[in-house]
Amino acid sequence: MPAIRRTNLGRRTRNAASQRYIRTSQIDEQREERNEVERNRRNRSQQHRNVAFNPYRAAFNYNVTIYYSSQQIVDIGSMNIVCPHCKAFKFKNEAPGICCASGQIKLTPLIPPPEPLHSLVSGNGRDSIHFLNTIQQYNNCFQMTSFGATKVVRDNFMPTFKIQGQIYHRTGSLLPMPDSEYKFLQIYFMGDSSRQVDQRCAHNSMVKRPIVEQLQIFFHQHNALVALFTTALDRMPSDNHKIVIRADKTPVGQHTRRFNAPTIDEVAIVVVGDSSENRDIVLHRRNDQLQRVSETHRSYMMLCNILFYFGKGKMGIIFQ
């Protein structure tokens, strides 16, 4: 039997001409409404095709034709569930004890930071919103370590880069070599506060100078490491001296009860020669060498993420 001829299909048929006339005679509002209906129809059709979506290793095989947001398994909701024990925010389907083992782990409550840091992280006001949106830039202004990786891959002229291998942070001496620029930790010891602000703002164009000035005063007053380095630098008579920041509060082989109230000399010492453990941070008064900072060192967070506030006089998280 010959195929049935459909005379109303094609661009030159009466139906196609009628549709063209309808579209040209519609006003803008009608045309936009018609387009919206068509978009919704296509979205529903796309969702229907995604019913057989397989999520296994989907993150490693991204398909632009798949409408991932329509998948219920992908939509995990908002982080609005509050743990009754530690007050941590969680997602709806997370295990009850994932944060604090249902109250068995009790963390020391975080201490609200003094001003101006407290107002800057509150989210109230234009300065606070600007600070939170560019908080990485402000952390870069004041961090005491430089960023490094075992392998950095750059693609042609792209401004971004890929990291392969391990990420780490390094720190240098307290003072730069002659005729060298002050960097990272060294900026704290430039002497002139105005020059310090100039140096910090020169490499971070998105920050506001008044906020940098306020934070600089804050760190000199409340940061334990800045106070420690300033005191140690005054005790270094020559470049042969160095400061050793102990990885642990209690020296190895000593009884813990002897060190319930540690002093600066127990936390960091100024020495000549080799007197340090593998995880200790050794800072010379002046040299051109960089030392890698151990991730398990008590001062790691304060050196790299200086905007974290652990409390006045405290140097970070202790693992032992």
SS3 283: strand
Is residue 276's pLDDT more than 60? no
Tell me which H or E stretch contains 291: strand 291-292
Which of 60-69, 84-93, 160-169, 269-278 has the highest average model confidence (pLDDT)?
84-93
Please tell me the predicted confidence (pLDDT) of residue 315. Answer: 57
**pLDDT beyond 80 at 275:** no
SS3 content of the chain, % helix, strand, coil (to 5): 35, 15, 50
Q: 283: buried, middle or exposed (CB in 10 Å: 19+, 13-18, 0-12)?
A: buried
Are 63 and 52 contacting, i.e. CB atoms less than 8 angstroms apart? Answer: no
Tell me how far apart the alpha carbons of residues 31 and 232 are, in angstroms, rounded to a whole number.
Answer: 74
Cis, peptide link before residue 114, omega less than 30° from 0: no
pLDDT band at 107 (very low <50, low <70, confident <90, very high): confident
β pairing state of 89-90 and 161-171: unpaired
Smallest Cα–Cα separation from 231: which of 268, 182, 273, 284?
A: 268
Q: What confidence score (pLDDT) does residue 259 get?
A: 34
The residue among 139, 114, 137, 119 whose CA lies nearest residue 129 is: 119
| pLDDT > 70 in the chain, percent | 54
Q: How far apart are CA 34 and CA 256, in angstroms?
A: 77
CA dist., res. 285 & res. 291, Å (int): 13
Using pLDDT thresholds of 50, 70 and 90, give the confidence band for residue 278. low
Q: Where are the domains of the chain?
A: 1-51+61-75, 76-107, 117-304
Instruction: For Cα atoms 304, 308, 310, give the angle at the middle one, nearest 5 degrees.
Output: 115
State if pTM tops 0.75.
Answer: no
Residue 130 has pLDDT above 80, yes or no: yes
**Contact of 79 with 89, CB cutoff 8 Å:** yes
Q: In the Cβ-directed half-sphere of 239, how many Cα atoms lie within 13 Å?
A: 9
Q: How far apart are CA 44 and CA 106, in angstroms?
A: 48
Cα–Cα distances (Å) from 103 to 94, 107, 233, 271, 319, in that order, read 15, 10, 44, 44, 20
Please provide residue 141's backbone torsions phi and psi, each rounded to the nearest 5 degrees.
Answer: -60, -35
The percent of residues above 90 in pLDDT, for the chain, comes to: 8
pLDDT at res. 291: 60
Placement of tokens 């196609």 in the chain: 16
Q: Are 174 and 283 in contact (CB under 8 A)?
A: yes
In this prediction, residue 210 has a pLDDT band, given cuts at 50, 70 and 90, of very high
CA atoms within 13 A on the CB side of 149: 11
pLDDT of 233 reads 72
pLDDT attached to residue 33:
79
How do residues 155-209 score in pLDDT, each as one tens digit? 666 555 555 555 655 666 666 677 777 777 777 777 788 888 888 888 888 899 9
